[in-house]
Amino acid sequence: MSHPKTERTLVIIKPDGLQRTLAGEIVRRYERTGLKLTGLKMTVPTKAHVLKHYNLDPNWKRIVGEKSIEAYQKKGLKPPSMDPLVLGDKVIEALQQYLTSGPVIAMVWQGAHAVSIVRKITGGTEPLTSDVGTIRGDFVLDSYQMADTDGRAVRNLIHASGSVTEAENEIAHWFETRELVNYRLVQEQILYDVNLDGLLE
Ligand code: ADP
């Protein structure tokens, strides 16, 4: 089994993150956990690239629809449809529009529990209900209701992989192997070394 410190995740700062000039703030929040940045690029994705990204998980469309229905019901509101696949179709179309509207920054972060740590800091999908202290909770005010009323995607600044398998598939979709850098970060000694040898003079 590979060591947990080799776990990797994909983060994308979506077009609204760049337009809100939050790229530096977002990188800072991940960086200060001890995670290591091993890949970074700015790109304007095509609609086909976005479609493939969300189709990497064949269940995604259904799950995104179910999550949205549940969020409406939790607030005592009526969802726009009770069919998760109908909602999922709308979301993917809106996402293609959203993510191709301007440049995005794609990043690979590596370190212990990279996927979970990044998801925790990023916060839940819907900014209205994402926790205070998370990026989505602190910097944006969107909701399912607003997005559906205006027929667009929820603007939540960031994409972050949902599982280790998803992360590996998504990294391969966004980066060539040669674009990722294997290197040692000096602070890794403090994060991971078993004996902390060599600190005292
Ligand atoms: P996450 O990005 O938190 O992993 P999902 O994979 O469920 O969330 O959804 C992908 C993206 O689709 C979200 O980040 C958001 O931008 C958008 N989205 C999700 N659900 C809806 C919805 N019901 N209406 C509009 N946009 C949505």
Record the tokens describing residue 8, joined without a space: 């990797």
* Cβ neighbours of residue 149 closer than 8 Å, sequence gap 6 or more: none
3 state DSSP class of 135:
helix
Cβ atoms 39, 180 nearer than 8 A: yes
Q: Which residue has the tokens 């290591």?
A: 36
Res 38: pLDDT: 98
With 90 as the cut, is the pLDDT of residue 84 above it? Answer: yes
Between the two ends of the chain, the Cα-to-Cα distance in Å is 36
Distance 124 CA to ligand 1 centre (A): 10
Res 198: pLDDT: 86
Q: What is the pLDDT of residues 87-107, one digit of tens each?
A: 999 999 999 999 999 999 999
With 80 as the cut, is the pLDDT of residue 23 above it? Answer: yes
Cα separation, 201 vs 198, whole angstroms: 7
As a whole number, mean pLDDT of residues 22-47 equals 98
Distance 32 CA to ligand 1 centre (A): 26
Residue to probe by mutation, ligand 1, list 66, 125, 144, most atoms within 8 Å of CB: 125
Instruction: Choose among 152, 162, 178, 177: nearest CA to 56.
Output: 162
pLDDT classification of 2: cutoffs 50, 70, 90 = confident
Which atom of ligand 1 sits closest to the CA of residue 156? Answer: 16
Fold of 4-44+102-192: Alpha-Beta Plaits (3.30.70)
3 state DSSP class of 66:
helix
Q: What is the pLDDT of residues 134-192, one digit of tens each?
A: 999 999 999 999 998 999 999 999 999 999 999 999 999 999 999 999 999 999 999 99
What residue ranges do the domains of the chain occupy? 4-44+102-192
Residue ranges lining ligand 1, Cβ < 6 Å: 64, 67-68, 87, 91, 94-95, 125, 144, 147-148, 153-154, 156, 159, 162
How large a percentage of the chain has pLDDT more than 90?
A: 95
Global pTM reads 0.95
Residue to probe by mutation, ligand 1, list 91, 92, 115, 136, most atoms within 8 Å of CB: 91
With 80 as the cut, is the pLDDT of residue 48 above it? Answer: yes
Record the tokens describing residue 65, joined without a space: 């629809």
Which residue has its alpha carbon closest to ligand 1 atom 1? 125
Number of residues that make up the chain = 201
Res 126: pLDDT: 96
With 80 as the cut, is the pLDDT of residue 1 above it? Answer: no
Cβ atoms 136, 122 nearer than 8 A: yes
Cβ atoms 7, 113 nearer than 8 A: yes
As a whole number, mean pLDDT of residues 5-12 equals 97
